[in-house]
Structure formats: C-alpha cells, structure tokens
Chain A
C-alpha cells in the first residue's frame, strides 16, 4: 500500500503541532469559540449532541494493520472503547475530549494518518471500491488515481473554501462498489496507453435533500487531461456555486441550474490558454505511486475450491469474493452481526482484525462504504482458519450483500443535525431480517434481498436514497416518523428511490419492511433482484401491500 513520503509525514506532523497550539490558545481564552470552530473543523473535530466527535480520514478506505492498531489504541484510551466506520470509508470517535485531541493527532501522524479535510467546504477524502487492486473483475486499480487526487486536493489553496463540501469517488471496474454516481465528481478508470488510465468523468451526483445521479461530463479523457479538467471543473464551481444558500450550494445544483452543456462549455473555456506545465508532474508521480500498489507480492496460491455447510457455507457464499490472483480470495468482514450497530467496532475487534490481516492478508485492511471491513488478499487455503478466528471474535456473520447488511448513520443517538434515530431502527431490522435470512437459507432458498439504508435526517449520510429500501427518519411534531423510499440503487444502475407514502413509527418499521420483502418474494420473477422487480412492477403493488392492510405492531 501507499506509504507517506517525507513531505507528507512532515506536513501531517506540522498540522498536528499547529492544532496543539490552537487548542492551547483556545483553552487560555486567546481564541473564542467563534474563532476556534473553523480551526477545529479543519481538523475533523465536531461538537455533536453529547460530546466532541473526531472524524479521521482513511484515504480511499485503505488501512495497514499498524494503522488499525492505532485506531484501536485511540478507541480504548481516548474514547469509550469503540469507533464508528462511516459510509465515507472514514472512522469517527464519538466521545472525544478536546484536551486529548492534540495527543490523538500526534499518534495518528506517527501512523501516517490525520483528520484534515474531513470537514468543511473542501475536497473530502476520495473514496473508491473497497476491492480495489484485488477484485477479479477489475480493469484498472483505482487506488493510484485516488492517491494522485489526494495529493492534488490536500491543502489545495484555491479549493479550501468552496461553496460547499466536495466528494470524489473513483472506480476501475464495471461493477460499481463505491456509489460512484452519487458523488460530486465520479471517475471510471479504463486501461489507456503506456500504463496510464483514461477516464469517464461524471458530475453532479449527490444525496442530501436534492438527490441526483451524476451525468456524464466527458467520456474517455486521457490521463494528461484529468487533473487540468478537474481543476477547471472545480474552478467554475468555485466561481458560480451558490454561496447564498447552503441547500443550493453543491455542484449538483449548479449543473442543474446552468445545464450540463453550459457548465461544460464554461469548463472548457476556462481550460483554454492555461499553462498546463505544472501538471506535467502528474504522469511520473502516477507511476511512482503505482509502484506502491504494484502489490500482489503474493506467491501464486493453490487454486482450491472452498465450499462448506452451515454458517461456514453461508459465509463463503456471501462474504468471500473472487480475487484477481488465482488461489486467493477477498474476504469481507461484516460489522452487521444480528442486532449490532452498523459500522461500529470495538478496540478489541479492530486489534483482532489487524492481527488477522497481518497473518493472512499482507497486513492490509479496507473499509467499505457499506460500513464493513475487508481482508483483501487471503489464500483460499486459509479461509477456514480465518473464518474460525472470526467466529471466536463474533465477526463471522455471513450476511454481506444481504438485507441485514444495513447501512445506518449515527442519527439522533449522536448527531447534532439529526431529526430522528437510525441505529435502533437498524438494530430492530437486523434482528428481524437475520432471522428471515437464516430461515430461508435453511429451506434451501435464495436468501438475497433488497439493500437497506437508513438516515437520521435529510442530509442522507446513511445513503437512504440509494437503497432498494431507504428509510429516512423525520421529526413530525416532536415525534420520530420514518419515511420509506423504494427502488434506489447505488450500483452501476444508480437510481434515486421513490417515496412510498406516509411515514411510520419506529415500532411499525420491521413489519412494514418485512411486508415489502414478502410482496417482492411473491411477485418476483426467477432470479430477479429487488431493483429489477421494482423497475418492472412499480410502486403500486408495494403501496397496496403496506397501506391497504393495517400493519401489526409487534409488542
């Protein structure tokens, strides 16, 4: 994996030292909260509902075992023993104390990590396919592009105060495992000439209160034009993005208001006559970065077919994916055990994953945007041993990609912006859906089901718009009410879900969701996914099933 060079290392260490000094000035009263707030946000420190929350960047979701142990150490020594992996492939600590943050940032810097640009109106952590570099279906490893973009966007002086935050995702396979089209800019990399990729550039995707699927800005852009084009795209956005209304400030609104054609014309006009010589560095830098990822220092594994029964069989079917090197497998570790809090891991669990990665997966771990972890390169012959170790830690739930693999944001149990809770809803659904999955599998039937995502407010950090079944928590007259959307998709067929109808109470949600799944089961054509059935059936059949008969509320 990529290692910081001396420049990166010195930069993050200097930023940590700078923040220590700023905290010192805050505590002696030299800085007021109004002055300090933008500084703490620049370093990922929020004030949430109950406490300060520190959001730490995990660049494109890649962690070494050593870095995971640093996170475990922070969880155990500076928080309440756990952390929360987010849909942005980052981690958040919910119970941080201001007095400890400088020490935490020092420890992170030592491990080659930081919390810079995890907040504020800047280019955020670039996200990607959690299977990057190892996926059997991959054409280009997106990590080198991500790292190039990390370097380009980190402390980019022109883009430090954009109209609003800016999110970029990169993929290099047909299958979209990064919700690429729900980003401000999405890149699909293809193999190009001389080992340098070409890109389709997508723009204007996003969630929040105005969900949009990105549109194709330009297809087949050669590597040399990638950074100049992104620079110009950001520059035009920076100039024209709405700063008067934060709900209209994202690039998706600008592109919708200007029209894609006009936006594109302005970007090209901006590029004209610009000195592109600074970008000449990009190609040699890309090659240098690529060398870090020319991993797979893996000896060819023995190509064995692994299968099994019971829990091991389910785990193999759901959590183990084809690797590009024969004899290896990609192992997903579910953070969605029955009744668990999606994305939460204790320090002990983090340490255990770090150890497993070191022993079985080249010391590398990935964080997925679905809030799970990945051991990217496990020898097929070691799968059983890995499974046994995960069973012991309670991390062997074989539900990756099933409905109980729920995305949920922190919601009103932690988040200062929330309108309702999301975690207890996820927990109740997980209990219900996991029972169904186990039962259906025991009956020898297909246990797959719709994707299910939950957000605690319209900001949609829980990606509810992009789920087959989305749940949005709202505040109706100071009570929680949950709105359901159907038909959203985060994959290559990206789509925004449609609102089903009036909302439900928290208690009603498990029955409502179960009824939706049963309705799908009853109307489903052979082998059809929920999204496919929904596209064919429309929402009326689901609406009738949910609203025409009263929903039983479980006691």
Chain B
C-alpha cells in the first residue's frame, strides 16, 4: 500500500524493485535507480497522482513498499533523516577482502 510519510512538501515516489529489491524512483513513466530521474509533485493533486501510481505499480507486481518522500523545497534534500540515509546508501565503504590493520 502506498502511503504518505511525514510532512507535506515537494515529493517524489520511491519503492523497492520487486525482483532485485533495489531502491527505485518513479521517473514519470518508469522506475529509475537514480533519484535525479524522479518526477516531483509540487501540490496536493500531483501528490495524489503519484500515490495512485505507487499503488498501481505495486498491484502490477513491479515494486514493493511504494511511498512518497518529501523534499526540502530549497535544498531538495529529503526532510526525514531516514530518507536521507536511504538515499545516500551505507555511509562507509562496504567490506572487502583487503586485510585490516591489527
């Protein structure tokens, strides 16, 4: 079920791709891995359309967990801490097999 999280403001639609689980953003006619492609809803009507799109895309089994992310109107950064972290990905290099210092 698509749901609106947090405060109101310019919003983008996000979800996880059903097969890979990857974070994706709605570009207006398809899902993209890049937030730069995300279409922005600036008013209530556009937000409702995006929410409906999320629900339809879930029903079509292309994505799971669709919801709107609210952005700061000036900086375009997500307002919520959780969404900022989700957008940025893990905040350290992922483990790899080079030896660590003792």
User: Which of B23, B59, B85: most chain A Cβ within 10 A?
Assistant: B85
Chain A CB within 8 A of B74 CB: no
A98 partner residues in chain B, CB cutoff 8 A: 18-21
- Number of chain A interface residues as a range: 35 or more
CB proximity of B71 to chain A, nearest CB, Å: 13
Whether A81 touches B91, Cβ cut-off 8 Å, given contacts A98-B21, A339-B100, A394-B100, is: no
A337 and B102: CB pair below 8 A? Answer: yes
CA distance A349 to B58 in the complex (A): 39
A348 partner residues in chain B, CB cutoff 8 A: 97
CA distance A144 to B101 in the complex (A): 38
A418 and B82: CB pair below 8 A? Answer: yes
A96 and B90: CB pair below 8 A? Answer: no
Chain B CB within 8 A of A303 CB: no
B85 and A413: CB pair below 8 A? Answer: yes
Whether A346 touches B91, Cβ cut-off 8 Å, given contacts A27-B19, A33-B58, A421-B85, is: no
Whether A97 touches B19, Cβ cut-off 8 Å, given contacts A311-B102, A337-B102, A480-B81, is: yes
CB proximity of A87 to chain B, nearest CB, Å: 18
A392 and B99: CB pair below 8 A? Answer: yes
User: Which of A34, A49, A82, A423: most chain B Cβ within 10 A?
Assistant: A49
A81 and B90: CB pair below 8 A? Answer: no
A420 partner residues in chain B, CB cutoff 8 A: 81
Which of A339, A391, A392, A479 contacts B81 (CB under 8 A)? Answer: A479
For chain A, residues 1 to 59, give those with C-beta under 8 angstroms from any C-beta of chain B.
26-27, 29, 32-34, 47, 49-52
Whether A29 touches B23, Cβ cut-off 8 Å, given contacts A346-B97, A413-B91, is: no
B1 partner residues in chain A, CB cutoff 8 A: 34
B86 partner residues in chain A, CB cutoff 8 A: 49-50
Contact with A along B1-35 (1 / 0, CB 8 A): 10000000000000010111111000000000000
Contact with A along B66-102 (1 / 0, CB 8 A): 0000000000000111100110011110111111111
A47 and B64: CB pair below 8 A? Answer: yes
Chain A CB within 8 A of B65 CB: yes
Question: Apart from A51-B16, A340-B95, what 13 extra A-B contacts exist at CB < 8 Å?
Answer: A26-B18, A33-B65, A82-B94, A97-B19, A97-B20, A98-B18, A98-B20, A338-B102, A339-B101, A391-B102, A394-B98, A397-B102, A478-B79
A394 and B82: CB pair below 8 A? Answer: no
Chain B's closest residue to A352 (CB) is B97
B95 and A82: CB pair below 8 A? Answer: yes
**Closest 6 pairs between A and B when the two form their complex, measured CB to CB:** A394-B99, A337-B100, A52-B21, A348-B97, A51-B21, A394-B100
Contact with B along A394-419 (1 / 0, CB 8 A): 11111000000000000011100011
B90 and A97: CB pair below 8 A? Answer: no
B98 partner residues in chain A, CB cutoff 8 A: 394
Chain A's closest residue to B90 (CB) is A413
Chain B CB within 8 A of A243 CB: no
Tally of contacts, chain A with chain B, CB under 8 A: 115
A393 partner residues in chain B, CB cutoff 8 A: 99
Chain A CB within 8 A of B49 CB: no
CB proximity of B25 to chain A, nearest CB, Å: 13
CB proximity of B86 to chain A, nearest CB, Å: 5
B19 and A99: CB pair below 8 A? Answer: yes
Chain B CB within 8 A of A475 CB: yes
Contact with B along A88-111 (1 / 0, CB 8 A): 000000011111000000000000
Whether A33 touches B64, Cβ cut-off 8 Å, given contacts A96-B21, A397-B102, A421-B91, is: yes
A80 partner residues in chain B, CB cutoff 8 A: 94
B61 and A394: CB pair below 8 A? Answer: no
A396 and B21: CB pair below 8 A? Answer: no
Which of B58, B79, B92, B96 contacts A413 (CB under 8 A)? Answer: B92
User: Which of A52, A398, A427: most chain B Cβ within 10 A?
Assistant: A52
A394 and B18: CB pair below 8 A? Answer: no
B20 partner residues in chain A, CB cutoff 8 A: 51, 97-99
Which of B82, B97, B99 contacts A81 (CB under 8 A)? Answer: B97
Chain B CB within 8 A of A138 CB: no
A394 partner residues in chain B, CB cutoff 8 A: 98-102
B21 and A337: CB pair below 8 A? Answer: no
Q: Can you list 30 residue pairs at the A/B interface with Cβ under 8 Å?
A: A27-B61, A32-B59, A32-B61, A33-B64, A33-B65, A49-B82, A49-B86, A50-B86, A51-B16, A51-B22, A81-B96, A97-B19, A97-B20, A98-B18, A98-B19, A98-B21, A337-B100, A337-B101, A338-B101, A338-B102, A344-B95, A347-B97, A392-B99, A393-B99, A395-B100, A397-B102, A412-B81, A412-B85, A424-B91, A480-B81
